[in-house]
Copies of this chain bind each other. A is one copy, B any other.
Amino acid sequence: MSTRNFSPPTDDGRAFEPPIALSPTSYLVLGLVARQGRATPYDLKRAISHSIGNFWSFSHAQLYEEPARLAAAGLLQEEREEEGRRRRTFTITALGRRALAAWLADPSSELAEIRDLGLLKLFFAGLGRRADVVRLAQEQLRLHQAKLAEYEAIDHMLADHESEAYPRATLHMGLLYERASVAFWQAIADDPPASPHFAAAEGTTEKGQAEQG
């Protein structure tokens, strides 16, 4: 994640220069606090775990450091309990809102990067054995089917809440992705491509023999 300074994209009168370098993580925190009104780091953690966390995860440690940093720069306001757990509660400031608005107004974003260990293994699968590919594909299939079911359940839950239209939209992209993944890994599991290396590495297999050169 590159931390870079933000340059105003449009001349819509909302050009804005933030006092500190803001990373995607910063905006994520700003956005969540803005949505919730008030939030402790733990609140953020919970909010993330079943929404953004599905496509943008990070450790809870960041949820203590980043808000503090944003508060120091005046984008958030921090309030601390004097007793008990001495919780820190954050709210967004006018400055924070401006930073968030400027970010949202900037349409430029690089493409996604899908860091998928399963795909990485598949890339090199020709170096291994045919049976390995099949097991990999079956495992991935299982995982993606489970995720798909989870997303569908969440989608139903969100159906009523109008204020959740955009979170729900991202969920729909997740659904598209999981459905594509299920189809993809199913196809690999059913009929893994042949590799010149396979023949040398193992004996007979039940199917797909004909394709091996």
- Residues on A lying within 8 angstroms of B by beta carbon are 1, 10, 24, 27-28, 31, 34-35, 51-52, 55-57, 100-101, 103-105, 107-129, 132, 135-136, 138-140, 143-144, 147, 162-163, 165-170, 172-173, 176-177, 180-181, 183-184, 188, 193-196, 213
Contacts and interface: CB of A to CB of B under 8 A. Distances in A.
B35 A127 contact: yes
A75 B109 CA distance: 38
A123 B52 contact: yes
A24 B120 CA distance: 8
B105 A129 contact: yes
B129 A34 contact: no
A contact patch SS? helix
Contact of A162 (B112, B116, B213): B213
A188 B1 CA distance: 26
Contact of A112 (B117, B169, B172): B117
B107 A139 contact: yes
5 contacts: A107-B139, A107-B140, A119-B173, A168-B193, A173-B184
Nearest to A55: B114
A166 B122 contact: yes
A104 B129 CA distance: 8
Contacts of A176: 180-181, 183-184
A125 B213 contact: no
A167 B112 contact: no
A107 B192 CA distance: 14
Contacts of A172: 184
A117 B128 contact: no
